[in-house]
Amino acid sequence: MKGPIDLETFLPSNYQEISTVKHIHVAIAGFGGVGRAVAGLLLARRNRYRSLYDVDVRLAAVCGSRAGLSSTDGLELQDFDRLIEGRSGPDFLMAARPDVLIEAGPSNFRTGSPGHGYIGSALDAGIHAIVISKGALVFDGKGLQDRARKTGAFLKVSGATAAALPTIDLLNHNLKGCEFIRIEGILNATTNFLLSAMMDDGMSFVDALAKAQQGGFAESDPRNDTEGWDTAAKVLILANFGLDAGLTMDNIAVDGIQNVTDAQVKAWKDAKLVPKLIGSIVRNDGIYSAKVGVKALPASDVFSQVAGKSKAIRITTDTMGEIVAIGSGAEPMATASAALKDFEHIVMARH
Amino acid sequence: MKGPIDLETFLPSNYQEISTVKHIHVAIAGFGGVGRAVAGLLLARRNRYRSLYDVDVRLAAVCGSRAGLSSTDGLELQDFDRLIEGRSGPDFLMAARPDVLIEAGPSNFRTGSPGHGYIGSALDAGIHAIVISKGALVFDGKGLQDRARKTGAFLKVSGATAAALPTIDLLNHNLKGCEFIRIEGILNATTNFLLSAMMDDGMSFVDALAKAQQGGFAESDPRNDTEGWDTAAKVLILANFGLDAGLTMDNIAVDGIQNVTDAQVKAWKDAKLVPKLIGSIVRNDGIYSAKVGVKALPASDVFSQVAGKSKAIRITTDTMGEIVAIGSGAEPMATASAALKDFEHIVMARH
């Protein structure tokens, strides 16, 4: 068998300028655990992108809140440890002229910062945006959708809604054509882990939380998870990006697990029920409403099996019946992989 | 509020010829329960297609094995009861010049007939094919893929692999970019129903089968289901269309539930295990292998909750961890809806 000819040896040095191989330059805003996982996975998949889509993917620029780095030739793994202070912000990333922005920074629902600045700058310039952090999408999802529509850029959000668990793409792709009657989700791993610990290990909420914080499964200020706001944010993004429901946080009744008592845990155990923090969206007369709260389910309900750090979604449709999906990918790789699913869909659509 | 202007009143009578609205003509081969469900749902969704994609969908022709009907203006529901004898076969359907063929006829794995003739004729003419019956795909999936590639026609098979349960599109869309390590599925409703009856109601295989046949959940010759061939066919299509694995039926070790004894059922109950007929595909050193057989699972396995006529798939990936999907749509609507998901994806890609 004869292998393919090594074209490099026959090509002039200005090959890239005259070749038909397309380059895709990627910039990453937010360079903590998730951002770095995205960057590493993107670089590791360059051969895949070249062989499947005939594109040459380069990491043009990355930045955290204080430091960053860019290179027209593309950054490599070893560059990640020599970020330069002061190179940060939308203007810095946009100067690298990326084709795609991946936003993986911290998340603030009340201001949308810092993601909103990066995403908005990208979309206004016709640069496709893949969003992982929920802040900007909760703060101004509609505004960002409008700005994307204006320039024809893609705005993709798989990484922001339960990551490796398919959610929005179940609605938009797998169940295409259906009407959606009800959507329920176990969307927050921390609260699911805490409820499992309280039910299975007999721990109080306070003790379970302390244990989770020690293990790194809960934040030092855990209220965003425990009071249901993280679930509510995912429900909101799912409703607006998956169903075009036009909801705001004010439309969602939000309750968490912070007030679950030992007596309640005992009562659920006695009744052989399993409590789950459920985010739900229901359609009535064509109008969607959403809420977040604890629901005690019978053991025969498949959601009762979704333990620990797994997540799940149940979608009730008119013609396809009920579809349940359960996911349990390890972070940060699962989220990085969800963002790069979005990336690959963009590459397929545009190149 | 002012409604949209009714354009019809302002348009000349030859409007259709000069309008930019695109027409999509659909033909359906196989007009039993599933074919009729597809036809009815397609007609019911015409407003959806027009408002979302600005296309005018018409049902140009339908036929069963002996009778059919066609109309350039498009068939309506009331036409379904006045099919004309002798109007059948690929030539009859192709004469209606469809843009899309939906094949929903009987399934024969050994000859591929009659579906293979319809699908092949369509693909050769550049007509997109949506396949529901498994026969032709098992008999000559590779050949049909090649013929589709040659003319650029789509060949879509969601309805042939567990219908409303997402399977191939999980691999090709939701988990895009992942490597697939293992796929396991509960893909046959009849055997799952029989195993549930044997375990939960203490029935023997023979009694459970008789009950299922009375209820219309099992065929009078049930061996295609009970001996695992239906599951094997779905595994094969999943492997070849979802993973490009290049398998044939000869590559799959197939065992069914026909030899499950009362003693085995008792042993599983004593061990608190739940038996399921599992079709699986495993990747080792880049090579896929597949098999079908009964596997006894612990009660904590989410597959143990997939009872009765539900179906499920579990996909183990490199970067997104494990994803489980469970579906339980009522037939024939769920299958019709899966085929029309394929239809809508074609419309979105081509119009």
Per the structure block, which two tokens stand in for B84?
């004309």
Q: Which amino acid makes up residue A220?
A: S
pLDDT at B163: 86
pLDDT surpassing 50 at residue B9: no
Q: Which of A165, A305, A323 has the CB atom closest to B302's CB atom?
A: A305
Substitution target from A55, A173, A333 for chain B, most B beta carbons within 10 A: A173
One of 3.30.2350.10, 3.30.70.2190, 3.40.50.720, 3.90.1150.10 is the CATH number of B7-164+333-350, namely: 3.40.50.720
Using one digit for the tens of pLDDT, what is the confidence trace for B231-265? 999 999 999 999 999 999 999 999 999 999 999 99
Q: Quick check: helix, strand or coil at residue A322?
A: strand
- As a whole number of Å, the CA-based R_g of chain B is 22
Mean pLDDT for chain A? 93
| Secondary-structure class of domain A20-164+333-350 per CATH | alpha beta
CB within 8 Å: A345 and B176: yes
Q: Which residue has the higher pLDDT, B16 or A194?
A: A194
Among A45, A164, A174, beta carbon nearest to B166: A174
Answer whether A176 sits within 8 Å of B345, measured CB to CB: yes
Q: Do A323 and B48 touch (CB under 8 A)?
A: no
Residue A7, pLDDT score: 41
Domain residue spans in chain B? 7-164+333-350, 168-327
Percent above pLDDT 70 for chain A: 94
Residue type, A306: V
Look-up of token digits 């900007």: A136
> Of B86, B14, B92, whose CA–CA distance to B60 is shortest?
B92
Q: Tell me if B322 and A329 make a contact (CB, 8 A cut-off).
A: yes
Q: How many CB atoms lie within 10 A of CB B198?
A: 24
User: pLDDT tens digit string along A245-262?
Assistant: 999 999 999 999 999 999
The phi-psi region of residue B112 (left if phi > 0; otherwise alpha if psi is between -120 and 50; otherwise beta) is left
CATH number of B168-327: 3.30.360.10
Average pLDDT over residues B46-60: 97
The two beta strands, B311-317 and A22-29, are unpaired
DSSP string of B148-186, one letter each residue: HHHHT--EE-GGGTTTTS--HHIIIIITTT--EEEEEEE
For chain B, the average pLDDT equals: 93
On chain A, the residues whose CB falls within 8 A of the CB of B180 are: none
**pLDDT tens per residue across span B107-134:** 999 999 999 999 999 999 999 999 999 9
pLDDT value at A10 more than 90: no
pLDDT tens figures, A18-71: 456 799 999 999 999 999 999 999 999 999 999 999 999 999 999 999 999 999
Q: Which whole number is the average pLDDT over B182-202? A: 94
- Give the N- to C-terminal CA distance of chain A in Å, as an integer: 31
User: Considering chain A, what percentage of its residues have pLDDT values greater than 90?
Assistant: 88
Name the more confident of A216 and A98. Answer: A98
Residues 6+ apart with CB under 8 A from B59: B26, B27, B28, B39, B42, B43, B74, B75, B76
Say whether A329 and B320 touch across the interface (CB within 8 A). yes
**Which amino acid, residue B77?**
L
**Between chains, do A41 and B173 touch, taking CB under 8 Å as contact?**
no
- Helix residue ranges, H only, B45-182: 46-53, 90-95, 115-124, 135-151, 168-169
Give pLDDT tens digits for B82-111: 999 999 999 999 999 999 999 999 999 999
A131–chain B Cβ distance below 8 A for any pair: no
